[in-house]
Structure 1
Amino acid sequence: MSDEKIQSYAQAILAVASAESNPAQVEDEIYRFSQAVQASEELKSTLSDASIPSVRRQQIVEDLLDGKASQTTAALVSMLVAAGMGSEIKAIADQMIGLGAESRDKAVAEVYSVVDLSPDQQERLAAALKSATGKDVEMKVIIDESVMGGLLVQIEDEVIDGTVRTRLKQLREAF
């Protein structure tokens, strides 16, 4: 899929979210949905399978988001699936979040952790990342058990890897 097409969808979704509701909420809900899709090969395959009628794929989206996301989010994700963009939900969500953060003059940090971070931990990490990058930061915390401990932070093109998984790998390679 072309980057221009993904960017166009991301811009359109952001424009609709801004016009109809709280864009930050829609960004977060679409991001969380994209993470769920990435975590399930079956769901990813189903939402991108052109042999499954689009009405059925849309119903799956609506069932999954019912009561868990705003009507705006459900309608936008349903529209993406109907348009044959089910395989690109993650890329569109990432692009949309980047555009939204950029419009607020912020950077997006994806933080991978084995456990959810407390509000205090998130504040301290955001302050440290602001100090390192010079930008205010919007964090997306992703629970990832493979991290084992510590954090992996991806902010723009930079990766900060302080995970137990990586340290163990480095120890194995050293001996």
Structure 2
Amino acid sequence: MSDARIQGYARALFEVARAEGTLDEVEDELFRFARSYESSDELRSALTDEQIPADKRQAIIEDLLGGKATATTSQLLGMVVGSGRGRDLPAIVDQLVHRASNAKQLDVAQVRTAVALTADQEARLKAALENATGKSLNLKATVDPSVVGGVVAVVGDDVIDDSVRTRIDQLKSRL
């Protein structure tokens, strides 16, 4: 899909969530869903298969999110998938996250860790990243088992890789 269409969908999702007064929650839920979508071949296939009728693809979303996400999130995802834009879901959601962050005058920090962070750990990590970058941040954390341990953060063009794998590679290069 063209950048203009991706931007258009992101703008529409943003405006609906903002009008509903649930922008922060919807943005977070959409971000988490998009990361799950990216990591699951089965989910991606089910939500993008043109042979599966749109209402069935939308039902998959309802089954997955039923009671776990706001009605707005479920409806917005259903709209994107139902309109045949499932393949572009991660790009649309990423644009929404950037739009929402810009509206709050924040930069996005995408963080990957091997295990889920507690609310306290997220708050401390956010503070440390804000101190390191000098920016106010909207922290988006996801679990990525390939990180093994530690954290990998991306803020704009800056990558902060404090993962165990990187530390081991650095040690190997010194030997």
Query: Is the TM-score greater than 0.5?
Result: yes
Alignment correspondent of 1:37: 37
d(CA) in 2 for partners of 1:115, 1:15: 33
Q: What runs of 5+ residues in structure 1 fail to find an aligned partner?
A: none
Alignment correspondent of 2:69: 69
Alignment correspondent of 2:7: 7
Alignment correspondent of 1:145: 145
Q: Give the alignment of 1:8-157 within 5 angstroms.
A: 8-157=8-157
d(CA) in 1 for partners of 2:142, 2:172: 26
Letter in 1 for 2:115: V
What SS class does the counterpart of residue 138 from structure 1 fall into?
Answer: strand
d(CA) in 2 for partners of 1:133, 1:99: 20
d(CA) in 1 for partners of 2:23, 2:134: 24
d(CA) in 1 for partners of 2:45, 2:85: 12
Aligned Cα root-mean-square deviation (Å): 1.5
Deviation at 1:62, TM superposition (A): 1.2
Alignment correspondent of 2:169: 169
Deviation at 1:74, TM superposition (A): 0.6
d(CA) in 1 for partners of 2:171, 2:2: 40
Deviation at 1:165, TM superposition (A): 1.4
Deviation at 1:87, TM superposition (A): 0.9
d(CA) in 1 for partners of 2:146, 2:51: 34
Q: What runs of 5+ residues in structure 2 fail to find an aligned partner?
A: none
Deviation at 1:171, TM superposition (A): 4.1
d(CA) in 2 for partners of 1:81, 1:119: 31
d(CA) in 2 for partners of 1:174, 1:46: 46
Letter in 1 for 2:117: L
Deviation at 1:19, TM superposition (A): 0.6
TM-score of the superposition, structure 1-length normalised?
0.93
Asked whether the equivalents of residues 21 and 72 of structure 1 are also in contact (C-alpha less than 8 Å), the reply is no
Amino-acid identity (%): 45
- The number of aligned residues is 175
d(CA) in 2 for partners of 1:121, 1:87: 33
d(CA) in 2 for partners of 1:42, 1:172: 37
d(CA) in 1 for partners of 2:7, 2:61: 22
d(CA) in 1 for partners of 2:100, 2:116: 23
Deviation at 1:146, TM superposition (A): 1.3
Deviation at 1:17, TM superposition (A): 0.5
d(CA) in 2 for partners of 1:149, 1:119: 18
- Structure 1 residues 81-133: Cα deviation after superposition (integer angstroms, max 9, x where no partner): 01111111111111101110110001111111112223332222222222233
Alignment correspondent of 1:159: 159
